[in-house]
């Protein structure tokens, strides 16, 4: 099993166990997973939220994470 990661602005973003996580990239170019934290969207500006939204879209593209119904009852 693999985890899809988006790296931008010296930060890595990924989704694990339905939690959106962020961690810094260290000086060796590796993800510092021990420093990972959940992304706090409550205190973000509109611009930051739009940026985060694009990252989430990239991470979930084709993964079936949407909350829509299959249409079956």
Digit-coded pLDDT (tens) for 18-54: 999 999 999 999 999 999 999 999 999 999 999 999 9
Q: Beta partners for 6? A: 13
Question: Which residues have C-beta within 8 Å of that of residue 8, sequence separation ≥ 6?
Answer: 55
Tokens, residue 25: 């990239």
pLDDT value for 15: 95
Length of the chain equals: 73
pLDDT value for 67: 46
Question: Which residues have C-beta within 8 Å of that of residue 52, sequence separation ≥ 6?
Answer: 20, 39, 41, 44
pLDDT over threshold 50, residue 60: yes
């Amino acid at each position: 099993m693999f985890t899809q990661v988006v790296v931008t602005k010296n930060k890595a973003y990924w989704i694990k166990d339905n939690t959106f996580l962020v961690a810094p990239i260290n000086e060796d170019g590796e993800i510092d997973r021990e420093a990972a934290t959940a992304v706090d969207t409550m205190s973000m500006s509109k611009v930051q939220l739009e940026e985060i939204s694009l990252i989430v879209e990239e991470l979930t593209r084709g993964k079936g994470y949407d909350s829509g119904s299959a249409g079956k009852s």
